[in-house]
Amino acid sequence: MVEVEYDTMKPHIAVLPSPGMGHIIPLFELAKYLVVHHNCHVSFLNITTEASAAQTHLLRSPACTLLPPGLQVIDLPPVDISALVSEETLVLTRLSIIVQESLKSDLKSVLTELGKLQALVIDFFCTQAFEICRELSIPTYTFCTTSTAFLSFALYLPTLDREVECEFVDLLESIQVPDCAPVRIEDLLDQVRNRKIDEYKWMLLHLSRLPMATGIFLNLWEDLEPKSLKAIREHSFYKQIPTPPIHVIGPLIKQDEVPMTEMDAECLAWLDKQPLDSVLFIALGSGGTLTAAQLTELAWGLELSRQRFILVVRKPTDTSASGTFFNVGGDFNDPKAYLPEGFLERTKGVGLVIPSWVPQVMVLRHASTGAFISHCGWNSILESISHGVPMITWPLYAEQRMNATMLVEEVGVAIKLSTGGQEKGIMGREVIERVIRVVMEGDKGKMMRDRARELKDSADKALNFGTGSSYKSLSCVVQEWKAHIS
């Protein structure tokens, strides 16, 4: 039974993310932001089936006692999916089945017990909620956990599916998304590279339901992707879909870890001793993993570059680039077991190696951090730009290749690591060393750093209380919700 006590004169909003830290973190930040800055009451619905240790820590750690009054976390009970998935089931299919079974079992009863809701906010992969909310007359908004460029592609995908008969990867030219930058075939997200498998069918199903939303929240700000924003708002194709109203409300990013661990404090103390803009930060996301051979080349590239660094590392796997998606935040591991022999000793004092997890925002905010090797997940991109840090792109899965290209060619805050020198899909140490030096020592790195800091300032302005464009955009939606309180 859900127990709720709240001010009936405040809008009551439910927020529902799909599993995966890349979705949970930004929707949790939205929930806090609505409570603290927009005087809402928020019920955050937590899908607990196969929850990772990191998810449980974020939502159920002692730090949750520090949540602002008016925000409550409600667990959806675990469901048994053992008959529906196997070890071979790919990430999006498994995620979609978890969501489907969890919502089918519990969402209607939970929403009913919550009483009068002004809205439910979901992400891309919780679209089964649309039918349930229609039955309960609850307006449902989609929170876009990635770029405007990806949203434009997502809105175009159902048309592409109808008009193109062959596999998209067999097309001879880039995909021309209406009035947006073309999507190169090599940048296509993994889930649309084979139209015969379940992952594609799930992706198409979820994205084809975008027009069912009352509105779409974009986690960015007006200055970041003006061309794609203009296209979605004004081009006839998107109007004919029709595309729901777009609300640009970001960047909503994770804040500091509370409380700070002993390892966090060690990392911060080490950063305090380093010169301004001198440290290269390497972290490949909550779900990302490298092969053993690639991790070896990365380590050698770092050592050869002779740059200061913080390397967040986890045990390599040769099976999947998203190998820790469902178990991020688990047991720590021993980097000595898989980094090159002697690497830790040779780089002692120059680099800091941290197993599995580090408070990323703490590192990116620090004045010593000069660049970021990133997998180009959207949360990491927003965190990096919001703290004025340029990037070296190392995309691994999902839409990350599209993000990387956009950062390099449209935004101007990144350089691609994949600039040749790959053998059997492995990025060589010489290439890694060269690109690191370009960013940390060269004029190109300085230009990217200046651009990132320019965007940092515009992001700060967008969130200014009362006057920022993102603040006002979300405030307008909240006013609509308030008008429907009965």
The C-alpha atoms of residue 18 and residue 416 are separated, in whole angstroms, by 30
Closest CA to 41 of 132, 101, 119, 148: 119
14's enclosing H/E stretch is strand 12-16
Residue among 12, 38, 41, 123 flagged as catalytic: 123
* Residue 249 DSSP SS3: coil
Which class for 465: exposed (0-12), middle (13-18), buried (19 or more C-beta within 10 A)? Answer: exposed
* Residue 183 DSSP SS3: strand
Q: Any bridge partners for residue 218, and if so which?
A: 144, 248
| Residue 115 CA neighbour count, 13 Å, CB half | 14
Closest CA to 445 of 339, 373, 394: 373
The C-alpha atoms of residue 231 and residue 229 are separated, in whole angstroms, by 5
Phi and psi torsions of 168, nearest 5°: -60, -35
Q: For the CA atoms of 47, 50, 56, 60, what is the dihedral angle to 10 degrees? A: 50
Name every residue whose Cβ is closer than 8 Å to that of residue 378 and which is 6 or more positions away in sequence: 22, 26, 145, 146, 147, 219, 403
Closest CA to 251 of 386, 63, 370, 427: 386
Q: Please, what's the b/e burial string for 324-346 (b: 16 or more CB within 10 A of its CB; e: otherwise)?
A: bbbebbeeeeebeebbeeebeee
> Quick check: is 123 catalytic?
yes
Name every residue whose Cβ is closer than 8 Å to that of residue 390 and which is 6 or more positions away in sequence: 371, 372, 384, 413, 414, 415, 439, 445, 448, 449, 451, 452
Closest CA to 119 of 414, 373, 486, 480: 480
Tokens for 89? 């089931």
Q: Are 43 and 15 in contact (CB under 8 A)?
A: yes
For the chain, the distance separating the N- and C-terminal CA atoms, rounded to the nearest angstrom, is 24
Closest CA to 145 of 82, 111, 95, 74: 95
Residue among 23, 41, 206, 375 flagged as catalytic: 23
The CA-atom distances, in angstroms, between 142 and each of 38, 291, 378, 406 are 19, 35, 16, 22
Tokens for 389? 């840090």
Which positions are annotated as active-site residues?
23, 123
